[in-house]
Homo-oligomer: A and B are copies of this chain.
Amino acid sequence: MRITILGSGNVATHLAAALKNAGHAIWQVYSPHLDHAALLAYHVKAEAVNDINAIKADADLYIISVKDDAIITIASQLAVEEKPVVHTSGATPLAALKRFGEHSGVFYPLQTFSKQKEVNFREVPLCIEAASESVRNILTHLGRDISNRVYEVSTEQRKILHLSAVFACNFPNYLYEIARGLLAANGLDFDLLRPLVLETADKVQHSLPNAVQTGPAVRNDEKTMQAHLGMLQDDVFLQNIYRLLSEGITKMKSS
């Protein structure tokens, strides 16, 4: 397929590379910043454009992979007809592309991407939604070309997925940062905790998290929890986090 990518951020970059590696042609890369478009276009041997009117109408698929609040603007300016147009956003409904009618769809890779770090795309869950059977077919086949995990997910379910991802990714990363700060304040390196962080995530790859919960809260070990709160006495904010999450773990256990 000839695929035009609108956007040059983390998702656009990883997705374009995965599609290219699977044998598809990246036709054009659009970004309002020509240097951004050119960098990605160079890697996937595409044409870079920074004028949305320069986007050719002869691609087989248009993927809008930009910040959530730019999707509607980009969509309103994209002058293609009778061609599938999809976005890649977890938080945006299919209806944001309603001007493309039955040609609209969603192609949402549920993963956290950084430009510096390679991701094995075959393990990335691809959540697809489509306004018609023909777009569904196209996205399903395209998804399977690059990933072993293709799911059909409605707009409502995708919203829940996106919210869950905040709990499963953004918030844990912030807790790692709290741990790093506590260590640093006491002359200890975050490297000491890295194996624990990885093993904690690895444990739930084949178990459910409630089955492998450890720590003082799930043991109702009040003495240790009080000692920890005492160590945090100069930081009421961290005490509040400690108390709230410990309370949640205790509730989880009893439910």
**Chain A residues at the B interface, C-beta cutoff of 8 Å:** 68-69, 91, 110-112, 114, 117, 119, 123-125, 127, 149, 151, 153, 156-157, 159-161, 163-180, 182-183, 186-188, 190, 192-205, 207-210, 212-218, 221, 223-224, 227-228, 231-232, 237, 240-242, 244-245, 248-249, 251-252
Contacts and interface: CB of A to CB of B under 8 A. Distances in A.
A234 to B, nearest CB: 13
B112 A216 contact: no
23 contacts: A91-B227, A110-B196, A119-B199, A127-B192, A163-B231, A163-B232, A164-B178, A164-B188, A164-B193, A166-B215, A166-B242, A167-B175, A167-B242, A168-B200, A170-B214, A176-B209, A177-B209, A177-B210, A180-B209, A190-B208, A190-B209, A194-B204, A244-B244
Nearest to A177: B209
Nearest to A210: B177
Contact of A195 (B111, B196, B216): B111
Given A114-B203, A205-B198, A168 B176 contact: yes
A121 to B, nearest CB: 10
A68 to B, nearest CB: 7
A204 to B, nearest CB: 5
A186 B173 contact: no
Contacts of A178: 164, 167, 248
Interface SS majority for chain A: helix
Contacts of A187: 157
- From A69, A114, A167, name the one whose CB has the most chain B CB atoms within 10 angstroms: A167
- From A163, A209, A212, name the one whose CB has the most chain B CB atoms within 10 angstroms: A163
Given A174-B249, A179-B167, A241-B248, A205 B214 contact: no
Contact of A252 (B174, B199, B241): B174
Contact of A245 (B112, B174, B195): B174
B173 A228 contact: no
A201 B198 contact: yes
A199 B121 CA distance: 11
A199 B163 contact: no
